[in-house]
Amino acid sequence: MKTIWNKRSQVAQFGGANQGATWANEIQRLAGMSLDEVKMAAEANPSVSFFFYCRDGIYLDNYDKGEFSPGDAVLFSGAPWYGSAPQCDTYVVERIPRNILWMSEMPQITGGSANPNALRVNGTDDRDLKNLLDSVYTHVIVCSFHFRNNTDFTPLYNGFSAAEYRAPWRDFQFLKQGENYKTLMISLGGWNNECWKHMQGKEDEAARKLAEFVDAHGFDGIDLNFEGDGYGNNHDAHRAAMGKCAESLRDHLGDRIITISPIFGDEAAKQLGEIKNAREVISWVNVQLYYYQNYNNTTGGHHNSPMDYSDAVTKTGFPASRVVAGFALNGAQPENDVTDAGNTQRAQMNAAELANCEGYVRAMVRNNSDFGGVFLWRYLKTMQPQQPDGKMLRWDSAMKAAMQPQGQIV
């Protein structure tokens, strides 16, 4: 699999001793090389987790690290801590297996506030920005974005424009550094969303505006979430629009991340079939496996459950390293909730349900040595306090442990 490098513009490794920043994890310095040559050198050493590359000359006098010329690079292991360096860009390796949080609730919005810049600072779970920073999620995908109509392709989130969300997008950048740094993405679409209808015949224009948003607000990529049955006879045409948008996004985003998130079944193959050179355009596939194993209680069979992961890999035609298994925390629709074994409408997931999901993931890892990871779609539901210590159950750390190869100590 081609290594994914997530770009951090105009920053280099910070040299101060505060906030955990250090050059003690420096591996190698390279001189006078192209960016592609540096990436090849970095990929040849599995210890490298990030590097910075100089587009112009820079003297890091404050860091006492010397002078660097255009084409120079420094390779590091460990975690990045960024300092401003307009002449440089930092590239961070994509973490696999992925431990993705799919956020449908912004961390900063509290108490039904209509102010999108109201910061959430006292949350008790991973919807609080500080808790999210400390979590072991590897990715955060903010959903869902949409378009206002077929003439304005400015990405909107919850009805607010990008300008109205300046502060949250700025604050999100803190998640991109430190020991538990995150890959940050946005998701376009959602159930019965009309964005695909709006972009028909204007896919490149829509893709360009999306890429501009990603660039302007420091995101690492975009997910295209095409799902729902509200399109009538135009369902296939809207899927085709999604495919053309993906192709244009690859042109506009370069080597940044583009994913799709189909519901399990034939939809993954249909969506990939609408994308020319899909294996080059799509970074990986997020497959929604939201239904519980006993969904079909009459026959004892199952439908669209975590047990379908191997079949999902086959249907995409991608290696397992590029297929992510989706779970849902969904208090509103328990019949769609793989984490709700009792199929009851409760507000929290309990320890037995979490253990059930861990078992599914361990089986996926046993059967797929190159397992691509998991994502959790959070919608309305939260984790239950754990007894006897009263702390909240932790999906992120439970999944990290479950995705370790057997016998490996976390």
DSSP string, 269-300: HHHHHTSTTHHHH-SEEEEE--S-TTSBTTTT
| Whether the Cβ atoms of residue 163 and residue 216 lie closer than 8 Å to each other | no
Q: Give the C-alpha separation, 6 to 93, whole Å.
A: 6
Q: Which CATH architecture has domain 5-93?
A: 3-Layer(bba) Sandwich (3.50)
Q: Give the C-alpha separation, 348 to 329, whole Å.
A: 8
Q: Which pLDDT score is estimated for 205? A: 97
Torsion of CA 213, 218, 224, 228, to 10 degrees: -80
Give the pLDDT of the chain (410 residues) as one tens digit per residue: 568 898 888 899 986 555 556 788 999 999 999 999 999 999 999 999 999 999 999 988 655 678 899 999 999 998 888 888 999 999 999 888 999 998 876 654 443 344 444 444 444 555 567 778 888 999 999 888 999 889 999 888 866 665 666 667 777 888 888 888 999 999 999 888 889 999 999 999 999 999 999 998 889 999 999 987 645 568 899 999 999 999 999 999 998 999 999 988 888 999 999 999 999 999 999 999 875 444 444 444 445 677 788 888 998 999 999 999 998 876 544 444 444 444 444 557 778 878 888 998 999 999 998 999 999 887 656 677 777 777 778 899 999 999 997 644 43
Q: Which pLDDT score is estimated for 46? A: 92
Q: For 98-402, CATH number?
A: 3.20.20.80
Beta strands, E only, 173-295: 183-191, 221-227, 257-260, 284-288
Q: Rounded to two decimals, what is the model's pTM?
A: 0.85
Which residues are 29's β-sheet partners?
Answer: 74
**Residues in CB range of 332: below 8 A, 6 or more apart:** 379, 380
In this structure, are strands 139-146 and 50-54 parallel, antiparallel, or unpaired?
A: unpaired
| Whether the Cβ atoms of residue 328 and residue 336 lie closer than 8 Å to each other | yes
Q: Which pLDDT score is estimated for 166? A: 65
Four-residue CA torsion sign, 356, 362, 368, 372 = positive
Q: Which pLDDT score is estimated for 280? A: 94
Q: Which two tokens stand for residue 318?
A: 């991608």
Q: Which pLDDT score is estimated for 160? A: 64
Domains of the chain, by residue range, sit at 5-93, 98-402
Q: Give the C-alpha separation, 165 to 391, whole Å.
A: 32
| Whether the Cβ atoms of residue 89 and residue 41 lie closer than 8 Å to each other | no
Fold match, 5-93 / 98-402: no
Q: Give the C-alpha separation, 207 to 250, whole Å.
A: 9
Q: Give the C-alpha separation, 134 to 179, whole Å.
A: 9
Q: Is 145 left (phi over 0), alpha (psi -120 to 50) or beta?
A: beta
Direct distance between the N- and C-terminal alpha carbons of the chain, in angstroms, rounded to an integer? 25
Going from the C-alpha of 220 to that of each of 12, 146, 234, the distances in angstroms are: 17, 18, 31
Q: Which pLDDT score is estimated for 297? A: 40
